[in-house]
Homo-oligomer: A and B are copies of this chain.
Amino acid sequence: MNKKNILVGQSGGPTAVINGSLYGVICEGARHSDAVGCVYGMINGIEGFLADSYMNLSETLSDDDLELLRLTPAAYLGSCRFKLPENLSDSFYRVLFEKLERLDIGYFFYIGGNDSMDTVSKLSRYAAQIKSPIRFIGIPKTIDNDLVLTDHTPGYGSAARYVAASIREIALDASVYQQKSVTIVEIMGRHAGWLTAASVLARKFKGDNPVLIYLPEVAFSPDAFIEKVKEKLTKTSNLVVCISEGINDGNGTFVCELASDVGTDTFGHKMLTGSGKYLENLVKEKLGIKVRSVELNVCQRCSSSCLSATDLDEAAASGRFAVSAALNGETGKMINFIRKSDDPYILEFGTADVNEICNKEKAVPEEWITKDGSDIGDEFIAYARPLIRGSVEVPMKDGLPYFAFRK
């Protein structure tokens, strides 16, 4: 059999398990030494590769390195945000395919979200057009969990676990004082509320914090919000409210854009505030109560402290499955997750047409959000609970997590 090489890249925002998928690709590539020559990694995705930036992963990484890679958050190979030309006749494609052929690439894997699947779609369509035998497979990755045609995406489970654990701790922290207070926690998710919804998992009993949860899927009304906060404060002295960064009025205006009285710095420039900061000011103004806003920020996507074993295992498995699929002749596909059962949790891997996935977004189903739009229903809990299960021990040195990094 004529051996071909693998080229793998990472694209879009970091997650805690994107390197788990890379690990899966490398391991499965090595297992098929009859068909696979070596595994090359694009440095900084397709953009870096175009500038001849790549590395031979098969040669560089020892078994110990590979194990460390598996447990390292962010993106070992570096990432990019690079949109390929819409026109497949663009010389970009000719140049890129010449580079692929020069490296004798037979299998191309791209680990990423919506935009990365757009890359896989275009490259596979171009390959079909010029009858190139190179196979292109997308491996899903996003903390946003917003890819269609898959039950969920690697990266989501660990981020969801981080969010739920942090909210449980923030709720403890917020409750130490007697005086009434509101704590607003802003969670990532511009258009889809999956990650914010995960905050409901922090609740230990009915009525426990977070008492209010707002997703971008439901039109947000500041007035209704203030009324709700007032009502809930009669039962819960220290209220924790979780909001998606992307909460909006339902007509395309984000809450953070409503701030008319944002501060200015010494240069007279507007200090841009987030949705949480805006609502903090609103609560202060309308209710005159102690209020704080907290942005979970990048830690929710890059922390190794809350790695979900389920998530990490699935990330690695989807990398492995991608190599098998490509070797079996598939191309123009994304690896997808098919859930057979919530409890016991049973998952199968499959492939779906990448053209049906790219540039689409999967929202949290309306029926999983309570009618007044301020809470999450039990269907979501049943869906999300299995995804955050299992702890992963990260290697420690001098009290700190020790990670793989390119020297």
Contacts and interface: CB of A to CB of B under 8 A. Distances in A.
Interface of A: 10, 13-14, 44, 47-48, 72-75, 78-81, 161, 164-166, 168-170, 172-178, 201-202, 204, 258-261, 263, 265-267, 269, 271, 274, 277-278, 281-282, 285, 292, 294-299, 301-306, 308, 385, 388-391, 396, 398-401, 403, 405
A319 B24 CA distance: 48
B400 A201 contact: yes
A287 to B, nearest CB: 14
B269 A400 contact: no
Q: Which of A74, A261, A301 counts the most chain B CB atoms within 10 A?
A: A74
Contacts of A285: 267, 269
A173 B302 contact: yes
- Chain A interface helix/strand/loop/mixed: loop
A168 B400 contact: yes
Nearest to A72: B172
7 contacts: A14-B173, A47-B178, A165-B401, A271-B274, A295-B297, A305-B305, A385-B398
Nearest to A310: B399
Given A169-B303, A396-B391, A44 B403 contact: no
A302 B169 contact: yes
A342 to B, nearest CB: 13
A79 B295 CA distance: 24
A235 to B, nearest CB: 15
Given A168-B403, A263-B260, A269-B281, A298 B385 contact: no
A390 B403 CA distance: 17
A168 B396 CA distance: 12
B169 A401 contact: yes
A281 B259 contact: no
A168 B201 CA distance: 27
Q: Which of A281, A282, A400 counts the most chain B CB atoms within 10 A?
A: A400
Given A294-B297, A308-B399, A75 B176 contact: yes
